[in-house]
Amino acid sequence: MEKESLELRRKWVFRRGSEKLHLIKKPLESSEHVFLKAFLWALYLPQYPEIMVEKSIGDRYKPDVVALDPVQKRPVFWAEAGQVKPQKVESILRRFESLHFVIARWGFRKEPLVDLLQRRFASDSRIQKNESRIDLLQMHSSAHLNCIRDGEIRISNDYYKIISIWPPHH
- Residue 86 has a pLDDT of 94
- Residue 129 has a pLDDT of 85
Tens of pLDDT, residues 74-90: 999 999 999 999 999 99
Task: Report the alpha-carbon distance of residue 41 to residue 21 in Å, rounded.
Answer: 8
Three-class SS state of 111: coil
- Residue 1 has a pLDDT of 47
Task: Report the alpha-carbon distance of residue 157 to residue 140 in Å, rounded.
Answer: 10
- Residue 126 has a pLDDT of 86
Residues of the chain with pLDDT > 70, as a percent, come to 94
Answer whether 0.85 is exceeded by the pTM: yes
- Residue 3 has a pLDDT of 53
Distances (CA, A) of 10 to 25, 39, 134: 5, 18, 31
Tens of pLDDT, residues 132-150: 999 999 999 999 999 999 9
Stretches where the chain sits below pLDDT 70 are: 1-9, 170
Task: Report the alpha-carbon distance of residue 85 to residue 91 in Å, rounded.
Answer: 10
* Spans of all domains in the chain: 3-166
Look up the CATH superfamily of 3-166: Restriction endonuclease-like alpha-beta roll domain (3.10.640.10)
